[in-house]
Amino acid sequence: MTAVPLDRARAWVARIFADHGASPEAARSVAAALVGAEAEGLKGHGLSRIPTYLVMLTSGKIDGKAVPKATRVRAATLAVDAANGFAYPAVDLALGELPAIVRETGIAAAAISRSNHAGALGSHVEKLADAGLIALFFANTPEAIAPAGGTKAVYGTNPIAFACPLPGRPAIVVDLALSTVARGNIVAANQKGEPIPEGWALDSDGNPTTDAAKALKGTMVALGGAKGTALALMVEVLAAALTGAHLAFEASSFLDDKGPPPGTGQTILAIDPSGFGHAGFGERIATLAGAIEAQAGARLPGQRRLKLRQKAEADGIALPADLVAKFGAA
């Protein structure tokens, strides 16, 4: 496969979605997110999502022409209605509004409802960290994880992300699902007909499986066992109950055209570190980072994705051959 520059890859993805009924604005937003994830090696949130997104788009499960709306509910809270469209335009809207609000209030939150798959959350919080803010992102997803001691999925993989500025350097970014791996990795393996490692998932009977198709019909193994399921509950409260979105077990799949729109939710918290009575945040976080990196073999979270992104910016990314065959070259 021949690599193409990131701008050409974004234009190619945007064209595909526009050709299938998305508005130009939505198509560009989706393209930026998918290509960005692909460039960072997060293939489960990258170009492998194009087929499933298109299935939802063409069936009407995603409204490709939806325009998100933001409402300032209180001084420090923003409600964003994604209007059953793609999540990315709603997230973009929230990220655009939050910095000005948080400069007034010290802490601010955006609650997104009637949303969909939000992709690689790290890229979202990184934008706020680049503006000098600490950021947290919580997203619920369709049912995938059973509660501790149970066998039926109640929670989603419910990813969380965190970012904070690091003076003179790229932001520290943490991005993880509360399953052992992101569900997107299993989706990608299933598309390629590849097995998955042991310990990732259980089949519909609750037995460990390495069959990606069976895994998608079963449940995901929670990160850290009961501790992971407790965190998944927390995210369900913050991303669904707080936003008025569907709970995981009420949401339809992100992977097919069956049922109504998923209607999942996301909550973004932004914190201005200058608003807490001292000016030492930058020095404190730099000291912490230094203590981590002083240890042989230790590194800050997010370094691998940063290196992959830098390489992709220089060398481009490869477009999947099957998608090029179907939709044409970039």
d(CA 158, CA 96): 23
* Backbone φ and ψ of 134, nearest 5°: -85, 140
Whether the Cβ atoms of residue 113 and residue 81 lie closer than 8 Å to each other: yes
Whether the Cβ atoms of residue 237 and residue 243 lie closer than 8 Å to each other: no
Whether the Cβ atoms of residue 70 and residue 97 lie closer than 8 Å to each other: yes
Q: Is residue 268 part of a domain?
A: yes
* Backbone φ and ψ of 302, nearest 5°: 90, 0
Q: Is residue 292 part of a domain?
A: no
| Number of C-beta neighbours around residue 291 at 10 A | 10
Whether the Cβ atoms of residue 260 and residue 61 lie closer than 8 Å to each other: yes
Structure tokens at 241: 């109950």
pLDDT band at 150 (very low <50, low <70, confident <90, very high): confident
pLDDT band at 306 (very low <50, low <70, confident <90, very high): very high
pLDDT tens digits, 60-114: 999 999 999 999 999 999 999 999 999 999 999 999 999 999 999 999 999 999 9
Mean pLDDT over each residue of the chain, to the nearest integer: 95
Number of domains in the chain: 1
Q: Is residue 287 part of a domain?
A: no
Closest CA to 223 of 285, 158, 312, 278: 158
Q: Residue 2: is its pLDDT beyond 80?
A: no
Of 159-173, 182-196, 208-222, the range with the highest mean pLDDT is 159-173
Q: Residue 145: is its pLDDT beyond 90?
A: yes
Q: In which domain, by residue range, is 9 found?
A: 3-179+222-277+304-327
More reliable by pLDDT, 291 or 192: 291
d(CA 178, CA 264): 16
Q: Residue 174: is its pLDDT beyond 80?
A: yes
pLDDT for the residue numbered 214: 92
pTM for this entry: 0.93
d(CA 8, CA 296): 39
Q: What secondary structure does DSSP assign to 85-102, as a single string?
A: S-HHHHHHHHHHHHHHHH
Q: Which CATH number characterizes residue 63's domain? A: 3.30.1370.60
Question: Over pLDDT 90: what percentage of the chain?
Answer: 90
| Number of C-beta neighbours around residue 66 at 10 A | 21
Q: Residue 144: is its pLDDT beyond 80?
A: yes
Q: Is residue 145 part of a domain?
A: yes
Q: Is residue 291 part of a domain?
A: no
d(CA 262, CA 221): 22
Whether the Cβ atoms of residue 202 and residue 218 lie closer than 8 Å to each other: yes
pLDDT for the residue numbered 1: 64
Q: How many residues does the chain have?
A: 330
pLDDT band at 151 (very low <50, low <70, confident <90, very high): confident
pLDDT tens digits, 240-285: 999 999 999 999 999 999 999 999 999 999 999 999 989 999 999 9
Q: Is residue 191 part of a domain?
A: no
Q: Is residue 117 part of a domain?
A: yes
Identify the residue whose tokens are 């007909």: 193
pLDDT tens digits, 207-220: 899 999 999 888 99
Q: Residue 42: is its pLDDT beyond 70?
A: yes
Q: Is residue 211 part of a domain?
A: no
pLDDT for the residue numbered 36: 98
pLDDT for the residue numbered 185: 85
